[in-house]
Chains A and B, each alone.
Chain A
Amino acid sequence: MANSITIEGLHAGYGAVRVLTGIDMHVASGETVALLGTNGNGKSTLIKCITGQVRPTQGRVLATIEGKPHDLVGRATQDIIGLGIAIVPEGRRLFPKLTVEENLLLGAFRAAARPRREESLAFCYEAFPRLKERRAQLAGSMSGGEQQMLAIGRSLMTLPKILLVDEPSVGLAPILVARTIDTIAEMKQRLGLTVLMAEQNFPQAIRIADRGYVLVHGRIELSADDPQSLKNSDIVRRLYLGGA
């Protein structure tokens, strides 16, 4: 079944500040799409437009879940999650004073996920043995890498069709960044997800991306259909590699 996201002519901002101008973008079913750009170019705002945390001033955000189209603009975040779109938010946003298991079980809150919570929990513990070891520990007392695993686990507990990942590398040591990116690729493969990942760590992100968009000053400067052309583009070289 098709699970995709389409964004058309999207403008968004905070008060008088315009952050995004005329964004057109598509994430097709089963793809991993990287949303690239350095800090402050609007990646997170774009993700927040999809999750309903920021209301676009103009344009459309459409999602197709199992072949059914949904218009996401104007919906509350919890309703968008309820459709089957999960988010691993920037900064992880775990519940620090709840245990690992309580955090995971909360992930199964939405109606479609509740009946399969035991199954999902077993899946998470199998995929992240570390979480099983620490199931009774408070989330806030875990290391950054473990918390990132928990945030991914919690998002998977919602049984999503589409997974949004916002800046998974922030605050992690380089070795953990690589591991987190691998984990996302693995989960995408195992669960047949459609993934949109906002990331500033370009070399890591394109390892797993099928396609990519590069966001500069709130506009899509480059839309690349394969990782190789992303790597070879002038814009990427200028932004990331310091070339002229």
Chain B
Amino acid sequence: MNFSWDLLLNAVTSGIMLGGFYAAVAVGITIAFGMLDIVNIAHPAFMVLGAFLAFLSINTLGIDPFLSALGFAAIAFVFGRYFYRAYYHFFERRGDDSLQGLAFFFGIMFIVEISLVLIFGVDYRLIDLPYLATTYEIGIVQIPLRLAAPCLAGVAMLVAIQFYLSRTFTGRAILAVAQDLEAVRFVGADPIRTKEIAFGIAMASAIVAGVLLIIIQSVEPSIGREFIGRAFAICVLGGMTSLPGTLLAAMILGIAETMTSTFFGPSWSPAVAFGLLLLTLAFKPSGLLGR
């Protein structure tokens, strides 16, 4: 282990930038799994779908991925609503959602992955945005725009969703539906419609996270699996239902991973998420900002 302040500061900086991206991935898990009790392990697979959509849009249509992300997010929102309605109809309504629901999402994950393999092949793809090639240097700290921009976009998305949840009627109903589904009816809200909207938001966030992913690193169809454990660990560490907690946990995981890979070698960094998960479950099961 070689220690230097230079390495430490750069590890923390890139950890924060990575954390912003992790926040974008985990926000949808916090909504679907933390708030709606839907074990959507296909979430990262949908993220990879978003990555390939961004790849297509810039290479065939020449549309900037940040711009197309908004369009894809809108489509994904509508798709997510129908997707939840189907899930509700076939599983939740019958009370079959625990194990069968998990199997369902496992299947969806494979379907998405295999479809991507059939269409795009198994090669790694990357998009190159010339305007993100700049790297800012502040003293000894390097900030590549290619990592900083996705971080900012991810954090902005989380903050926007948090505002929506805490300031709007439907948003508050989403927070409430997680606690007492039937009681939501007593204030005049339809719990199923509320969950539909929430799942739509989660789906849209997955697609946006995918657009950010392919800006950061090269992507192949099954790469989403690397993020399943991380995203769920962030959700639990953050306190299951708290988006500020999710952001904080994402930053902690990002920094912990870059520190680990800087000082102990990259092969250790996948273990960090599960290490944090185990520590959380052992010492603070309610998570960092769990209510």
Contact = CB atoms under 8 A, between A and B. Distances in A.
Contacts of B186: 51, 77, 81, 86-87, 89, 93, 154-155
Contacts of B173: 106, 109
A51 B189 CA distance: 13
A119 B166 CA distance: 19
A157 to B, nearest CB: 8
Contact of A95 (B166, B169, B183, B185): B183
Nearest to B189: A109
Interface string A37-74: 00000000000000101000000000000000000000
A141 B182 CA distance: 21
A102 B183 CA distance: 14
A233 interface: no
B279 to A, nearest CB: 23
Contacts of B179: 95-98
B126 interface: no
A95 B180 contact: yes
A51 to B, nearest CB: 8
A244 B179 CA distance: 47
Interface string A100-123: 001001111110011000000000
A154 B291 CA distance: 21
Given A97-B241, A108-B169, A77 B185 contact: yes
A138 B188 CA distance: 21
A81 B291 contact: no
A87 B186 CA distance: 7
A106 B172 contact: yes
A42 B188 CA distance: 24
A200 interface: no
Interface residues of A, number: 30
A98 B185 contact: no
A98 B169 CA distance: 13
Contacts of A94: 183
Contacts, number: 73
Nearest to A154: B187
B176 A98 contact: yes
A110 B184 CA distance: 11
Interface string A125-152: 0000000000000100000000000000
Contact of B175 (A77, A102, A114, A157): A102
Q: Is the interface of B mostly helix, strand, loop or mixed?
A: helix
B169 A158 contact: no
Nearest to A82: B188
A108 B170 CA distance: 11
A86 B185 CA distance: 11
Interface in B157-210: 166, 169, 172-173, 175-176, 179-180, 182-191
Nearest to B169: A109
Contact of A78 (B172, B176, B185, B241): B185
A191 interface: no
B190 A138 contact: no
A78 B183 contact: no
A27 B189 CA distance: 26
B183 A110 contact: no
Nearest to B178: A97
A138 B291 CA distance: 8
Which among A86, A93, A105 has the greatest number of chain B C-beta atoms within 10 A? A93
Contacts of B180: 93, 95
A89 B182 CA distance: 11
A110 B188 CA distance: 5
Given A98-B172, A106-B172, A108-B169, A158 B187 contact: yes
B187 A81 contact: yes
A76 B185 contact: yes
Contacts of A96: 179
B275 to A, nearest CB: 28
In the A-B complex, list the 6 residue pairs whose CB atoms are closest, starting with the nearest: A110-B188, A77-B185, A81-B188, A93-B183, A97-B291, A78-B185
16 contacts: A53-B182, A53-B185, A76-B185, A77-B186, A78-B184, A78-B188, A78-B190, A89-B183, A89-B186, A93-B183, A98-B175, A98-B176, A102-B176, A106-B172, A109-B173, A109-B187
